[in-house]
Amino acid sequence: MQNEVNPVIIWAVIGVIVVGLIGFFVWRGHSSAKMETGGSEKAMDQYKRTGTFYQPPAGAPVSGAPGQGAPGSPMGAPGSAPR
């Protein structure tokens, strides 16, 4: 009695599994893909009004902001001597 499996059968089974997985993910990707065609109008209106896309919350530590210890700011760099 033969205990070996023909390699052609093994490769065929692996091929069927791979093709099935690829088909599943392609089908799943197309069924759940919904193109968003809008949504930036609010951001563009804010940019036209303020000239910035994002304004950090008041008191947020932002590097380079005046008064936060950035070089050239009135406070100067942290640890530097007053001018």
Distance, in Å, from the CA atom of 14 to the CA atom of 36, rounded to the nearest integer, reads 37
Please say whether the beta carbons of 69 and 75 come within 8 A.
yes
pLDDT per residue as tens, the chain (83 positions) = 578 889 999 999 999 999 999 999 888 776 665 666 777 888 888 889 888 877 788 888 877 655 554 455 455 455 555 55
pTM: 0.36
Residue-level pLDDT at 9: 94
Containing H/E element for 17?
helix 7-32
Angle at 12 between CA 8 and CA 16, to 5 degrees: 175
Dig out the tokens for 34 from the structure. 């919904």
What's the angle, vertex CA 52, arms to CA 46 and CA 56, rounded to 5?
100
